[in-house]
Amino acid sequence: MNDNSQLKSVLEKGDFAVTAECGPPKGADPGVVLKKAEILKGKVDALNVTDNQTAIVRMSSLAACSLLKTAGLDPVLQMVVRDRNRIALQSDILGASALGIRNVLCLSGDHQIFGNQPQALGVFDLDSIQFVQAVKAMRDEGVILGGETLTSPPNLFIGAAANPFADPLEFRVVRLAKKIEAGAGFIQTQCIYNLDRFETWLNMAVDKGLTEKTFILGGVTPLKSPGMAKYMKNRVSGMDIPDDIIKRMEGVPKDKQREEGIRICVETILRLKEMPGVKGVHIMAIEWEDAVGEIVEKAGLLPRPVFS
Amino acid sequence: MITAEQKPIDEIREMIAPYKKILALGCGSCVAECASGGEKETGMLASALRMAAKMNGEDVRISEMTIDRQCVNEFVIQLDDVIDQYDAILSLGCGAGVQAVADMFPEVPVIPALNTEFMGETKGQGLWVESCLGCGDCMLYDFAGVCPLARCSKHLLNGPCGGSVDGKCEVNPEVPCAWQLIIDRLSKFGALDRLEKIYPPKDWSKKQGAGPRKIVREDQQR
Ligand code: SF4
Ligand code: SF4
């Protein structure tokens, strides 16, 4: 594998990119990460590693990314600003680059109250946009916050998240513009089930010329059951699941529900592929990595490009 | 104002257990406004403690007194005449009040009866909300009079986060999303463009740069 971001190479070449998600274990066993790597190798261009997602303590994203890297995958290091101040964040950025990690996704993070450490102090020293800007300055100008020079800059493809389904809609595009201005080279969106709302948001972004300035990857999550859909709709804020999707899941027998979830997911990807301005897809199959290969195959996205 | 709530009575009883002559000391300022440590609440707490002591056959004397401001030395000095009669003070002041009393009378234990909460506003009968963190560099102009530090659960200066839905905060659907308020207010003033530029990282040295902060005003020191 070369020393560049595989994800960046695919996007720049103009291929429709595919990324997936890898949640690190609630334990210290590297085997769990390597097993996920094995399942997903060759199916995706890059693999996001979540950073203590929903504020639940897990193996560090940096360590899991490093394991993926040695297994020959292109990891995307997710970093949230919830747990680390600007000193720790910048330090981890340097460490990540030194370990050969070439992608970073800068996020605010779920609030600590949602996880298994609700008594923790939420740091939020920088916000996600300021963090993107800081990483860009480190990479492009070789300086840290405050202006001091680095002996050598990190080499990272910088990404951020966008939620087209949160409110207020008009301001969602302003925020996207700010993330791009800050330095986000790619954007991964919240899970898309409401394609109409997504298109409204996307068209606003296209009108502002934003889709020319960054690579937008649409987020998708295959549903396992109508229960999961309802849970996400009601309990995860900023998640928009239209009733007809839930009805569709309810309309099939229990043993066919996973299949239906995968079908919906594939249909969504095919629609996304047709939308100008969408440059790839990010598949978040939570603890269901096996589904990714099937989805990618059914969406006609195999084989993945290889660069020498 | 500084808001506070009374600690559970059992916790207070445990803290005062070693003492026989206790002065319950109220404060007539912020904690009176938020109905946790004014004259009335001090009287009620003192009676409750006396009652509990009596029921348990404990031999303690609990008196009460309220001064206008526990956090200002000029008022705390009033205790000079009475302090010798007590072996502990149970302060119903905020954290600053407790410490001001303790500072002036280093030989007397001063026990906090309140949990000090936040700087906030009285919104209505029995309702107080947090509105300022005392960051030392007020940004309310930029954010149309809505503090993103005190009122956004993630302290975002470039919000709103992806969890803002229907004007509510993802952390607590009872709480308005501060960023929705900021956007609504700025758009009323036709100043939404203020949010288009990236707001730089906060300078926290103004809040906690070199330990406890101090204001020195020479013009006030005569
Ligand atoms: S910006 Fe600072 S000083 Fe102003 S209200 Fe917020 S915390 Fe208080
Ligand atoms: S929902 Fe609004 S108030 Fe709550 S954390 Fe997000 S931006 Fe802040």
Confidence of residue A308 (pLDDT cuts 50, 70, 90): low
User: What is the nearest CA distance from B147 to chain A, expressed in angstroms?
Assistant: 15
Look up tokens 């309309």; give the residue: A251
Q: Please report the DSSP string for A180-240 in residue order.
A: HHHT-SEEEEEEP--HHHHHHHHHHHHHTTGGGTSEEEEEE-----HHHHHHHHHHSTT--
Fold of A6-222+278-290: TIM Barrel (3.20.20)
Contact A125 B202 (CB under 8 A): yes
Q: From B31, B62, B65, B68, select the one nearest B46 (Cα to Cα).
A: B62
Query: Taking 90 as the threshold, does the pLDDT of residue B105 lie above it?
Result: yes
Contacts of A128 in chain B (CB under 8 A): 158
User: What is the nearest CA distance from A210 to chain B, expressed in angstroms?
Assistant: 14
What is the ipTM metric for this complex?
A: 0.92
Q: What is the structure's pLDDT at A129?
A: 98
Give strand pairing partners of B119: B2, B132
Cβ-based burial of A279 (10 A; exposed 0-12, middle 13-18, buried ≥19): buried
In a domain? residue B222? no
A203 reaches B (C-beta below 8 A): no
DSSP 8-state symbol, A78: E
Residues B64 and B151 in one domain: no
User: What is the nearest CA distance from B67 to chain A, expressed in angstroms?
Assistant: 35
The Cα B56–Cα A58 span in angstroms is: 50
Residues B152 and B112 in one domain: no
Residues B8 and B114 in one domain: yes
Residues B19 and B87 in one domain: yes
Give whole-number Cα distances, A262 to A233, A300, B62, in Å.
18, 14, 71
A181 reaches B (C-beta below 8 A): yes
Of A86, A171, A181, the CB nearest to B183: A171
A145 reaches B (C-beta below 8 A): yes
Contact A166 B161 (CB under 8 A): yes
Average pLDDT of chain B is: 96
In a domain? residue B72? yes
**What does the longest C-alpha to C-alpha distance in chain A come to?**
61
Contact A130 B167 (CB under 8 A): no
Q: Find out whether the beta carbon of B164 lies less than 6 Å from any atom of ligand 2.
A: yes
Report how far ligand 1's centroid is from the alpha carbon of A131 (Å): 22
Query: Taking 80 as the threshold, does the pLDDT of residue A2 lie above it?
Result: no
Within 10 angstroms of residue A140's Cβ, the number of other Cβ atoms is 11
Q: Find out whether the beta carbon of B170 lies less than 6 Å from any atom of ligand 2.
A: yes
Residues B95 and B158 in one domain: no
In a domain? residue B67? yes
Contact A130 B198 (CB under 8 A): yes
Query: Taking 80 as the threshold, does the pLDDT of residue B37 lie above it?
Result: yes
Of A124, A163, A181, the CB nearest to B162: A163
Q: Please report the DSSP string for chain B in residue order.
A: -EEEEEPPHHHHHHHHTT-SEEEEEEESSHHHHTTSSSHHHHHHHHHHHHHHHHHTT---EEEEEEES-TTSHHHHGGGGGTGGG-SEEEE-S-HHHHHHHHHH-TTS-EEE-EEEEEEEEEEETTEEEEEE---SS--TTTTTT--HHHHSTT--SS---TT-BTTB-SS-TTSBPHHHHHHHHHHHTT-GGGGTSPPPPP-THHHHBTBS-----GGG--
- Between positions 106 and 125 of A, the ones with CB within 8 A of B are 108, 111, 113, 122, 124-125
Please state the separation of Cα B49 from the chain's center in Å: 23
Sequence-distant (≥ 6) Cβ neighbours of residue A280 within 8 angstroms: A10, A11, A16, A17, A18, A19, A45, A215, A216, A217, A218
Q: What is the structure's pLDDT at A307?
A: 85
A267 reaches B (C-beta below 8 A): no
Report how far ligand 1's centroid is from the alpha carbon of A111 (Å): 21
Q: B109-147: per-residue pLDDT in tens?
A: 999 999 999 999 999 999 999 999 999 999 999 999 999
The Cα B188–Cα B72 span in angstroms is: 41
The Cα B204–Cα B217 span in angstroms is: 22
Q: A91-133: per-residue pLDDT in tens?
A: 999 999 999 999 999 999 999 999 999 999 999 999 999 999 9
User: What is the domain-level CATH number for residue B56?
Assistant: 3.40.50.2300
Residues B140 and B108 in one domain: no
Give whole-number Cα distances, A273 to A70, A184, A189, A217, A278, in Å.
31, 21, 14, 10, 7
Query: Taking 70 as the threshold, does the pLDDT of residue B90 lie above it?
Result: yes
Tell which wins on pLDDT, B209 or A163.
A163
Contact B196 A86 (CB under 8 A): no
Residues B65 and B150 in one domain: no
The residue segments making up the domain with residue B101 are 2-118
In a domain? residue B50? yes
In a domain? residue B164? yes
Fill in the amino acid letter for B30. C
Confidence of residue A1 (pLDDT cuts 50, 70, 90): very low
User: What is the nearest CA distance from A123 to chain B, expressed in angstroms?
Assistant: 8
Q: How many domains does chain B have?
A: 2
> If you average pLDDT over residues B189-210, what whole number do you get?
92
Q: pTM for the complete prediction?
A: 0.95
Residues B166 and B81 in one domain: no
Average pLDDT of chain A is: 96
Query: Taking 50 as the threshold, does the pLDDT of residue B158 lie above it?
Result: yes
Q: Which ligand is nearest to the CA of B138?
A: 1
Q: Please report the DSSP string for A89-125 in residue order.
A: HHHHHHHHHHTT--EEEEE----GGGSS-TTSPP--S
In a domain? residue B85? yes
Query: Taking 90 as the threshold, does the pLDDT of residue A3 lie above it?
Result: no
The Cα A12–Cα A186 span in angstroms is: 11
Cis before residue B106, ω within 30 degrees of 0?
no
In a domain? residue B201? yes
- A122-135 b/e with 16+ CB inside 10 Å = b? bbbbbbbbbbbbbb
Report yes or no: A153 and A142 within 8 Å, Cβ to Cβ: yes
B77 reaches A (C-beta below 8 A): no
In a domain? residue B146? yes
Residues B174 and B199 in one domain: yes
Residues B142 and B201 in one domain: yes
Sequence-distant (≥ 6) Cβ neighbours of residue B104 within 8 angstroms: B73, B76, B77, B79
B189 reaches A (C-beta below 8 A): no
Contact A126 B166 (CB under 8 A): no
The Cα A182–Cα B45 span in angstroms is: 55
Query: What number does the ligand 1 atom closest to the CA of B138 have?
Result: 4
Query: What number does the ligand 2 atom closest to the CA of B162 have?
Result: 6
Residues B67 and B96 in one domain: yes
Domain ranges of chain A: 6-222+278-290
Cβ-based burial of A68 (10 A; exposed 0-12, middle 13-18, buried ≥19): buried
